[in-house]
């Protein structure tokens, strides 16, 4: 994903709000790049609640993550993480997310996620609830 592919906030049906924390800053007084991964994980975990992920038989694992940093964020800031399912495969799907700071995109990511059964130790077909949300 690059800056040109980021669409309007309305094109991302799943939204998650969070506030920066003082500890998120680095010595340069802006939010450290690694912290954005935590923000994206918080939003993704919240999205997983829609699908009743149980972390045993009906679970997911991150297979790949691409992240683009578009603008610095300083503390304090109120952020909005907008997400959508951008691709569905047989056993994996992509979650596209953009972190907005005052409606300005500051970070964009694509996470490839695999549906997984930890009890049997194998990947499984994409859960029906996720397929339904792909068409939201």
**Mean pLDDT, all residues of the chain:** 93
Distance, in Å, from the CA atom of 115 to the CA atom of 130, rounded to the nearest integer, reads: 10
Of 28 and 110, the structure prediction assigns the larger pLDDT to 110
What does each C-alpha distance from 65 to 26, 36, 52, 112 come to in angstroms?
A: 23, 12, 22, 6
SS (HEC) of the chain = CCHHHCCCHHHCCEEEEEECCHHHECCCCCECHHHHHHHHHHHHHHHHHHHCCCCCCCEEEEEEEEEEECCCCCCCCEEEEEEEEEEECCCEEEEEEEEEECCEEEEEEEEEEEEEECCCCEECCCCHHHHHHHCC
Question: What is the reported pLDDT for 9?
Answer: 87
Q: Across residues 61-79, what is the average pLDDT?
A: 96
Q: Across residues 86-114, what is the average pLDDT?
A: 97
pLDDT above 90 for 88: yes
Question: pLDDT digit string (tens) for 23-38?
Answer: 999 988 899 999 999 9
Question: What is the reported pLDDT for 3?
Answer: 47
pLDDT above 80 for 2: no
Question: pLDDT digit string (tens) for 35-60?
Answer: 999 999 999 999 999 999 988 889 99
Q: Across residues 104-116, what is the average pLDDT?
A: 97
pLDDT above 70 for 16: yes
Of 67 and 6, the structure prediction assigns the larger pLDDT to 67
Question: What is the reported pLDDT for 14?
Answer: 96
CATH number of the domain at 107, please: 3.10.129.10
Number of domains in the chain: 1
Domain span including residue 126: 3-134
Q: What is the pTM of this model?
A: 0.91
């Amino acid at each position: 994903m690059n800056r040109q592919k980021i669409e309007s906030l309305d094109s991302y049906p799943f939204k998650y709000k969070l506030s920066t924390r003082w500890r998120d800053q680095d010595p340069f007084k802006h939010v450290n790049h690694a912290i954005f991964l935590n923000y994206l994980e918080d939003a993704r975990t919240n999205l997983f609640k829609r699908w009743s992920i149980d972390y045993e038989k009906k679970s997911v694992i991150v297979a790949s993550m691409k992240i683009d940093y578009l603008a610095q964020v300083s503390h304090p800031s109120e952020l909005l993480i907008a997400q959508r399912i951008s691709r569905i495969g047989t056993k994996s799907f992509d979650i596209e997310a953009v972190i907005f700071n005052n409606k300005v995109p500051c970070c964009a990511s694509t996470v490839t996620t695999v549906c997984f059964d930890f009890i049997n130790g194998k990947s499984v077909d994409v859960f029906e609830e996720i397929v339904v949300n792909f068409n939201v």
